[in-house]
Amino acid sequence: MSTSPDSLDTVAIFRERIGADLVRFRKFLRQVVRNRLAFAGLILIMFFIVLSLAAPLLVGPYPTQFQRTTPEQPPSDRHLLGTDVQGYDTLTLLLYGGQVSLLIAFTASAVAMIVGTLIGLVAGYYGRLTDQVLSRATDFFLVIPWLPFALILMTIMGPTMATMIIAIALVSWPTTARVIRSQVITIKQRMFITRSRAIGAAGSHILRKHVLPNVMPLVWAEAVLTISGAVFTEAFLSFFGLGPKDNPIFSWGTMVNQSYQDLGLLAGRWWYFGPPGIFITLVVLGFAMLGYGLEEILNPALRRR
């Protein structure tokens, strides 16, 4: 069975593109490692991701009702971070809680990035009435008080994980849309876009092949900062009792809420409320450091400054 020359050319072009993408990716990784802020943030993020994913190996399966022990035990050799008011091992809850908090944050950020990028691309490229309608919709979601909005949404749809993801995504995408729209307005005035229009390229083709690749670095930087905000928002909502009730695993925010309700702070049970609060702070800090570091790498003006 012979292979046609066209298929061989297609494979060669594909390999060439993959090779070029790998070269650019290695160059980008070197820039991230050289940027102290971005590298420190990346190390923090990877540390907590590995801890969460390796929870079954580090502390065993998630505890059930039959695996409870003496409640409110202080840290010991058997329970490194003590136990909570129900008798669950706090370290086990802490490591598994990262899975819920990070899953909600990553999923909500992905939804917000997709929606915000699409709206920013369309509004910035087509302009006129399309831009006015989408920009007014973006402004509307920007000025919505996010806490009352989340409360109403949780009441109508129920306090589930899906509802929390939707609530966080709906209050996160407008910022991305505004940033992408501004960048697209600048890009569409460049010469290579004018040449593509002159040869009859469709708007969808120009957006997909020329505009989107040029705004993707900005999209990734915004995504990292959005994840940082999503982690904090999830913890904030869970602290006020709006955490997902359809998941048996406690998130970090739910752990802080439980310790607050059980007066762990007043009773001096630092192992109950302290570790989840520290984990939330460090994860948010890590994503913020990585996001600002990526902005320095991708923005020549900031890099020179």
Give me the pLDDT at residue 1, please.
47
* Helical spans, DSSP H, in the chain: 5-34, 36-53, 55-59, 90-126, 128-143, 146-157, 161-187, 191-198, 203-206, 212-239, 252-261, 270-298, 300-304
Residue 256 CA to residue 264 CA, distance in Å, equals 9
Residues in the chain: 305
Give me the pLDDT at residue 298, please.
73
Which pTM value belongs to this model? 0.83
Q: How many other CB atoms are there within 10 angstroms of residue 299's CB atom? A: 14
For residues 127 and 184, is the Cβ–Cβ distance under 8 A? no
Residue 187 CA to residue 126 CA, distance in Å, equals 12
The structural domains of the chain, with segments of one domain joined by +, span 1-34, 42-64+79-304
42-64+79-304: CATH topology is MetI-like fold (1.10.3720)
CA distances to 85, 89, 257, 269, 275 from 71, rounded to whole Å, are: 5, 9, 17, 11, 17
Q: Return the structure tokens found at 246.
A: 């359809």
How does the average pLDDT of the chain come out, rounded?
81
What pLDDT, in 10s, does the model give residues 102-133?
Answer: 999 999 999 999 999 999 988 888 878 888 88
Q: Return the structure tokens found at 269.
A: 């049970």
CA distances to 42, 103, 177 from 284, rounded to whole Å, are: 12, 14, 22
Give me the pLDDT at residue 10, please.
62
Q: What is the SS3 assignment for 183?
A: helix
Residue ranges of the chain with pLDDT lower than 50?
1, 302
